[in-house]
Structure 1
Amino acid sequence: MRSNTGRLRACLALAALVAAALTGCSTTDNSSGTTAEGLTKVRLQLQWFKQGQFAGYLAAVDQGFYREQGLSVEILDGGTDIVPQTVLAQGQADYAIAWVPKALASREAGAGITEVAQIFQRSGTKQVSFKSDNISGPAALRGKTVGNWGYGNEFELFAGMTKAGIDPARDVKLVQQQFDMNAFLAKDINAAQAMSYNEYAQLLETKNPATGKLYTADDFATIDWNDEGVAMLQDAIWANSERLKDSKYQDQTVKFITASLKGWAFCRDRVDKCRDITVAAGSTLGSTHQQWQINEVNKLIWPSPNGVGMIDKTAWDRTVKIAEETKNQEGVTVLKKDPDAGAFTNEYVTKALDLLKSGGTDVTGSGFTPQQVTLTEGGK
Structure 2
Amino acid sequence: MTPPIRRTRTIIVLGAATALTLAGCGMSSSSSSSPTATQPATGSGSGTSGGGATKKVTLQLQWVAQGQFAGYYVAAKKGYYAKEGLDVTIKPAGTDTVPIDVLAAGDADYAISWVPKVLGSIEGGTKVTDVAQIFERSGTTQISFKDKGITTPGDLKGKKVGSWGYGNQWELFAGMQKAGINTDSQISLVQQAFDMNGFLNGDIDAAQAMTYNEYAQVLETINPKTGKLYQPSDLNVINWNTVGTAMLQDAIWANADKLASDKDYQDTTEKFIKASIEGWIYTRDHPQEAADIVAAAGSTLPAGHQLWMVNEVNKLIWPSTGGIGTVQKSSWDQTVDIALHTKDNTGKTIITKDPPSDAYSNVYVEKALAELKSEGADVMGTSFKPITVTLKEGGK
Do these two structures clear the TM 0.5 threshold for a shared fold by scoring above it? yes
Q: 1:319 aligns with which of 332, 335, 344?
A: 335
Corresponding residue for 2:202?
Answer: 187
Corresponding residue for 1:101?
Answer: 116
What is the CA distance between 1:196 and its match in structure 2? 0.2
CA distance change for structure 1 residues 193 and 172 in 2, over 3 Å: closer, same or farther? same
Corresponding residue for 2:313?
Answer: 297
Structure 1 residues 28-70: Cα deviation after superposition (integer angstroms, max 9, x where no partner): xxxxxxx987321111011111100000000000100000000
Corresponding residue for 1:75?
Answer: 90
What CA distance in whole angstroms lies between the structure 1 residues aligned with 2:76 and 2:131?
Answer: 20
Corresponding residue for 1:341?
Answer: 357
CA distance change for structure 1 residues 285 and 190 in 2, over 3 Å: closer, same or farther? same
What CA distance in whole angstroms lies between the structure 2 residues aligned with 1:89 and 1:79?
Answer: 17
* Larger proportion of helix: 1
- TM-score, with structure 2 as normaliser: 0.87
Structure 1 residues 319-361: Cα deviation after superposition (integer angstroms, max 9, x where no partner): 0001100001121111110001111100000000011111111
Contact 1:66/1:259, CA 8 A, preserved across alignment? yes
What CA distance in whole angstroms lies between the structure 1 residues aligned with 2:187 and 2:345?
Answer: 10
Corresponding residue for 2:388?
Answer: 372
Structure 1 residues 62-101: Cα deviation after superposition (integer angstroms, max 9, x where no partner): 1000000000111111133111111111111100000001
Q: Are 2:292 and 1:273 aligned?
A: no
Corresponding residue for 2:264?
Answer: 248
Letter in structure 2 aligned against 1:144 = K
Q: Are 2:177 and 1:158 aligned?
A: no
Letter in structure 2 aligned against 1:197 = Y
Corresponding residue for 1:169?
Answer: 184
Q: Are 2:230 and 1:211 aligned?
A: no
Contact 1:5/1:333, CA 8 A, preserved across alignment? no
What CA distance in whole angstroms lies between the structure 1 residues aligned with 2:118 and 2:18?
Answer: 14
1:242 counterpart SS class: helix
What CA distance in whole angstroms lies between the structure 1 residues aligned with 2:75 and 2:363?
Answer: 21
Letter in structure 2 aligned against 1:340 = P
- TM-score, with structure 1 as normaliser: 0.91
Structure 1 residues 188-210: Cα deviation after superposition (integer angstroms, max 9, x where no partner): 11010000000000111111111
Contact 1:5/1:334, CA 8 A, preserved across alignment? no
Q: CA RMSD in A?
A: 1.8
Corresponding residue for 1:138?
Answer: 153
What CA distance in whole angstroms lies between the structure 1 residues aligned with 2:20 and 2:340?
Answer: 16
What is the CA distance between 1:5 and its match in structure 2? 9.4
Contact 2:74/2:290, CA 8 A, preserved across alignment? yes
Letter in structure 1 aligned against 2:147 = S
Contact 2:161/2:188, CA 8 A, preserved across alignment? yes
Q: How many residues align?
A: 355
Corresponding residue for 1:16?
Answer: none
What CA distance in whole angstroms lies between the structure 1 residues aligned with 2:357 and 2:114?
Answer: 18
Unpaired segments of 5 or more residues in structure 2?
Answer: 1-7, 22-44, 48-52
Structure 1 residues 104-145: Cα deviation after superposition (integer angstroms, max 9, x where no partner): 111111111111000011000000101111011111111111
Q: 2:106 aligns with which of 69, 74, 91?
A: 91
Corresponding residue for 1:122?
Answer: 137
What is the CA distance between 1:169 and its match in structure 2? 1.4
What CA distance in whole angstroms lies between the structure 1 residues aligned with 2:212 and 2:46?
Answer: 38
Which contiguous aligned blocks of 4+ residues in structure 1 show a shift greater than 6 angstroms? 1-6
Corresponding residue for 1:282?
Answer: 298
CA distance change for structure 1 residues 356 and 90 in 2, over 3 Å: closer, same or farther? same
What is the CA distance between 1:305 and its match in structure 2? 2.8
What CA distance in whole angstroms lies between the structure 1 residues aligned with 2:341 and 2:155?
Answer: 22
Contact 1:308/1:363, CA 8 A, preserved across alignment? yes
Higher mean alpha-carbon deviation, 181-190 vs 166-175, is at 166-175
Identical counterparts, % of pairs? 57
What is the CA distance between 1:6 and its match in structure 2? 10
Q: Are 2:59 and 1:44 aligned?
A: yes
Contact 1:123/1:232, CA 8 A, preserved across alignment? yes
2:242 counterpart SS class: coil
What CA distance in whole angstroms lies between the structure 2 residues aligned with 1:216 and 1:45?
Answer: 35
What is the CA distance between 1:370 and its match in structure 2? 0.6
Contact 2:274/2:372, CA 8 A, preserved across alignment? yes
1:136 counterpart SS class: coil
CA distance change for structure 1 residues 264 and 89 in 2, over 3 Å: closer, same or farther? same
What CA distance in whole angstroms lies between the structure 1 residues aligned with 2:326 and 2:16?
Answer: 30
What CA distance in whole angstroms lies between the structure 2 residues aligned with 1:81 and 1:342?
Answer: 27
What CA distance in whole angstroms lies between the structure 1 residues aligned with 2:69 and 2:17?
Answer: 26
What CA distance in whole angstroms lies between the structure 2 residues aligned with 1:198 and 1:36?
Answer: 34
